Structure 1
Amino acid sequence: MNKAIIKLPLAIEEDVHNEFRMHAKLMLTELGKFQSKQDKDGSIRRTLQPISKTICAFLNTDGGRLFLGVNDDKMIKGITMSKNMIYHFFGSLRHMCEKFKPFSPISRIKVSILEVLPMDDKTKVKLRKVDMDKEEVSDFPKLANHSVGGFFCDCFKEINQAATKQYLFIIQVDAPDKDATTVIYQNEEGLAYRYNSFF
């Protein structure tokens, strides 16, 4: 099935196996300075958490799903992206995984992309599965190189020029193999996260 109609809000709760985000910033280096603020005591606090933190926690516990493009009220809004920005996301995901220790967890991570299609009935949204291998390449100039790991790349200039759509990303992180040796992952910051409760 390539299309599905979903009732809003989603019948999924945020818990230790599901989390919602309205951004696609994978690593700390992708966050701009405006995504932190200074508290009254002078300490700096992030207002946006990198996705690597959640992926690390899922890897070190029982796995889970991260929904990018769903707000805290469980409403599917999607994230505005051009196709080049989607390619950038996959490059950044691979780059992020290569920074994990003791080794890359990319084999335990799967990503589904769904286009969010508006409907007249505001209580529902139509989702269409996106297969990047079958997408038309004629409607966007594919960049030779993406600048991954930073907070800016040439593909982000396209937001007002290239065709953009709303997308829902579902990142599935598989649970550890129960028969394998226990591995504790650290994200690109060198920090290990685990889900006992929300952090």
Structure 2
Amino acid sequence: MNKAIVKLPLAIEEDVHNEFRMHTKLMLTELGKFQSKQDKDGSIRRTLQPISKTICAFLNTDGGRLFLGVNDDKIIKGITMSKNMLYHFFGSLRHMCEKFKPFSPISRIKVSILEVIPMDDKTKVKLKKVDMDKEDESDFPKLANHSVGGFFCDCFKEINQAATKQYLFIVQVAAPDPNAATVIYQNEEGLAYRRRLASNKCVYLDDLRRMMHERNRLFVDLHDEVRHEIDRFIKFH
């Protein structure tokens, strides 16, 4: 089925396996200065969190789905993008995965793109599947290069110049293979996350100890200081 009519709001809750976002900023380096603020104590707090945190958390837990273009009220708004911006997103996704440790998780990630079409009935929208492999590139001047990993690319200028549409991205992260050795992924910041309820929690030493007791598996390519703490715990406890 290439088209579907969906009621608003979505009959999906944010939980351990689902999260809603209204942006496509994958990495911390893609966030501009205006997307953080300084608190009274002088500390800097992000007002926008990079998507890599949630992808990392899904990878380290039981997988999940990211809905990009759905707000906190579960309403499908879509994200305004040109065709070049769609290509930029996929380039940024691959670039982000290449920065994950211990290796790229791109094989566990699948992205579906749906065009959001408003209907006369304000309680519904029509979703149309977009097949990037069948897109007619003659309709638009495709950029030769995209500047991925930063907060600006030439394709972003098209938001007010080229034809744009509203898109819903569904980023599906597959659950870990239960028969394979456990791998703790770290995102581009070098931090590991796990999914807890409807939020992402940084993995600390106590979490790793509990996971080691729960599952007799091998953890690979951790930071040296983390590995040292785990080895010390095993030796003296």
Q: Could you state the TM-score of these two structures normalised by the residue count of structure 1?
A: 0.96
- CA shift in 2, pair 1:134/1:180, >3 Å: same
Q: CA deviation at 1:138?
A: 1.9
Name the CA distance, whole Å, in 2 between partners of 1:198 and 1:74: 49
Q: How many residues align?
A: 199
Note the alpha carbon deviations across 1:144-187, whole angstroms, 9 max, x for none.
Answer: 11000000001001111110000000000000000000000000
Name the CA distance, whole Å, in 1 between partners of 2:144 and 2:133: 17
Which 5+ residue runs of structure 2 have no aligned equivalent? 194-231
1:10-21 paired onto structure 2 within 5 Å: 10-21=10-21
Q: CA deviation at 1:195?
A: 23
Name the CA distance, whole Å, in 2 between partners of 1:198 and 1:170: 45
Q: CA deviation at 1:101?
A: 0.2
Name the CA distance, whole Å, in 2 between partners of 1:148 and 1:12: 32
Q: CA deviation at 1:198?
A: 33
Name the CA distance, whole Å, in 2 between partners of 1:186 and 1:158: 33
Q: CA deviation at 1:196?
A: 24
Task: Give every structure 1 segment of 4 or more consecutive aligned residues whose post-TM-superposition deviation is greater than 6 Å.
Answer: 194-199
Note the alpha carbon deviations across 1:104-137, whole angstroms, 9 max, x for none.
Answer: 0000000000000010000000000000111121
**Stretch deviating more after TM superposition (167-176 or 130-139):** 130-139
Which 5+ residue runs of structure 1 have no aligned equivalent? none
CA contact (8 A) 1:100 1:188 kept: yes
Name the CA distance, whole Å, in 2 between partners of 1:196 and 1:175: 28
- CA shift in 2, pair 1:78/1:121, >3 Å: same
Q: Could you state the TM-score of these two structures normalised by the residue count of structure 2?
A: 0.81
- CA shift in 2, pair 1:22/1:41, >3 Å: same
Note the alpha carbon deviations across 1:71-130, whole angstroms, 9 max, x for none.
Answer: 000000000000000000000000000000000000000000000001000000000000
CA RMSD of aligned residues (A): 4.6
- CA shift in 2, pair 1:92/1:196, >3 Å: farther
Identity %: 91
CA contact (8 A) 1:23 1:68 kept: yes
CA contact (8 A) 1:16 1:196 kept: no
- CA shift in 2, pair 1:78/1:196, >3 Å: farther
Name the CA distance, whole Å, in 1 between partners of 2:235 and 2:172: 19
Structure showing the higher helix proportion among its residues: 2
Note the alpha carbon deviations across 1:10-49, whole angstroms, 9 max, x for none.
Answer: 0000001000000000000000000000011110000000
- CA shift in 2, pair 1:95/1:196, >3 Å: farther
